[in-house]
Structure 1
Amino acid sequence: MKWSIIRVGIITMFMGMTTIVFGMMDDDREQRRAERHQRKLEQYKSGWNRLIPKYQNVQYAGSMGLLSLGVGWDYGRKKQWETEIMFGLVPRFSSNKAKVTFTLKQNYAPWEVRLGGKWWLEPLVTGLYMNTVLSDDFWVKEPERYPNNYYKFSTRVRFHIFTGQRIAFDLGPHSPFRRITAFYELSTCDLYVISSATNKYVRTWDILSLSFGVKLHIL
């Protein structure tokens, strides 16, 4: 009788310990699952956060419109790479209506130099951009109404290269922007380069465009 009671006690104790162990294992499994979910959630948020523009920019001229507005992202170990999208306005001059342009721009600024205080200089900025006019008056492929190869280039899309410099000022913590940057650029496009190569009367300065702009850094 006593052995039966002892055996029941041992079995009960073993089952109790087993229940506790499995309960702890379940709790640990749930905790690991919750941690994995949290890491995935943070990675998901981080991925979307990368899509938030880091700065806003305004540019005057540059063969992308009289005035262009856009946003941009900087990235890389030293934030030396930048990608921008901009929309520009071409006012009504000789045409019967104003036109809108779209520009996709890639910049490279390899280094910056501190001038003192909150002032910074980027002595070299270079890159390229693609610009298109959002109008049916221009085309990518030559319309059939023209003789074959009458126009040997697209009138809607232009590819540009540029170089320039920037000067920046770090704003205070109470400002809505982290930094303000002023810049200038000298640029040319594929059509101008071809004209210069095939026409000896076209000088280097004839194919260059000067533009100015301001960048307002948010992040």
Structure 2
Amino acid sequence: MRILSINIIIVFLLAKVATAQQDTIKTKHWLIPKSVITQYAGSIGYLSAGVGYNLNKSGNSTLDIHYGHVPASKGGSLHIVTAKFAYRPFHIKINQHITLSPLNPGFFLSYHAGSNFDSTWDDNNYPKGYYWWSTAFRPHVSLSTELSLKSEKTLKSIGIKKLSFYSEFNTNELYFVSLFQNSKYLGLHDIFKLGFGSRIYF
């Protein structure tokens, strides 16, 4: 509950900043995000925040840029930058205020910053090709469910169109390979991670 409250507070603060940007940036409309997001867990940080851009007029395809952090008390300290693409192929209108987007496939690439992470392994210390993955970059596939709530007049007056909450399962290429190589000891539940987030559209 505490994490959800923090998420909502951060989202509203980011929304206020982004709305202010709309008032100051008039010519470069592509720079103005269409949403702000916070997320708890889900492979991109213990807590992350970011902005979202629509890739088509309907807004069904989005690109999100996140910054996430894992504190030392949770296994860090880690700093993670992530670019996320998601597609919402269909929607279920529950009523005039609530819409469900049940199955949203996606892809994202995360980057772990810091001297302990690198894009390649040092061939002087390891045989060439011995470690094929990057410690800094991690590609993921994801599947999310999003519940959207149309905002009331009070929220519309400050530029907020709707508020949504989502859950997202994801896995990466390293987990997939580990599953195939250790199928006796690992199952699908071991390689998928779950995150929860909230988003404000404006």
What TM-score do the two structures reach when normalised by structure 2? 0.80
1:185 counterpart residue number: 168
Q: Does 2:188 align with 1:204?
A: yes
Corresponding position of 2:197: 213
Match of 1:92 among 52, 72, 91: 72
Deviation readout 1:143-202 (Å, 9 max, x if unpaired): 245221442211111000010211111012321321000000111011000111111221
| Equivalent in the alignment of 2:3 | none
Give the superposed CA RMSD: 1.7
TM superposition shift of 1:209:
0.3
**Which residue does the alignment assign to 2:80?**
101
Higher relative contact order (CA 8 A, sep 6+): 2
Which structure: larger Rg?
A: 1
Indicate the SS of the match to 1:182. Answer: strand
Letter in structure 1 aligned against 2:201: H
Instruction: Pick the aligned partner of 1:117 from 93, 96, 103.
Output: 96
Shift of 1:66: 0.3
Q: Tell me which protein shows more helix as a share of its residues.
A: 1
d(CA) in 2 for partners of 1:206 and 1:99?
Answer: 22
1:143 paired residue number: 122
Letter in 1 for 2:166: F
- How far, CA to CA, are the matches of 1:133 and 1:103 in structure 2? 9
- Taking structure 1 as the reference length, the TM-score comes to 0.74
Percent of pairs identical after alignment?
A: 27
The equivalent residue for 1:55 is 35
User: Alignment partner of 1:65: what SS?
Assistant: coil
Secondary structure (helix, strand or coil) at the match of 1:116 reads coil
Gap runs ≥5 in structure 1: 1-44
CA distance, structure 1, for counterparts of residue 83 and residue 181 of structure 2: 28
